[in-house]
Amino acid sequence: MTHLIEIETKGPGLYEFTDQLMPFVTGHGTLTVFVRHTSCSLLIQENADPDVRTDLHEFFQRLVPSLDDPSMSYLTHRYEGPDDMPAHIKASLLPVSLTIPVISGRIALGTWQGVYLFEHRQRSHRRQVAVMMSQA
């Protein structure tokens, strides 16, 4: 079994991939999930009302707006597009790694928790997530 999951993204927002982790869940220990990029993030969030995901995206868009916004004029890393440096900032505020206990063969996610890739860039990307199950 490979240790890489690939996730295709088409613009900013949350992409759930909880199901893709399940083949790695075995035994008793911890599952580590790690995203190999600096302009997208991982996130565990509510998997019920999709409005939660929309609102999360809107909040982070306001906290860290595009370089086109006058409030961001102090930023200097500008040559990769108006969404690039904001993406790096969001990727600092949100998780790059998650470690989830696996207790006697069952992942310890709560009922309402899903695992998401949070894309911060505008254009399409193929993102790589590394996964490792470690026995206790």
Least separation in angstroms between CB 13 and a copy of itself: 13
Cβ proximity to a copy of itself: between 22 and 132 the closer is 132
SS3 (DSSP) at 28: coil
Is 19 within 8 Å of 115 (Cβ atoms)? no
Q: List residues binding a copy of itself (CB under 8 A).
A: 3, 29-30, 32, 34, 36-38, 43-46, 49, 51-52, 54-56, 58-60, 62-64, 74-77, 85, 88-89, 91-103, 108-110, 112-113, 128, 130-136
| CA 93/CA 105 separation, integer angstroms | 31
Give the nearer residue to a copy of itself in terms of CB position, either 98 or 122: 98
As to burial, measured by CB atoms within 10 angstroms (0-12 exposed, 13-18 middle, 19+ buried), residue 102 is buried
3-class DSSP state of 10? coil
3-class secondary structure, 80: coil
The least distance separating a copy of itself from the CB of residue 9, rounded to whole angstroms, comes to 15
Nearest distance from C-beta of residue 11 to a copy of itself, angstroms:
19
Nearest approach, Cβ of 71 to a copy of itself (angstroms)? 9
CA distance 84 to 67: 9
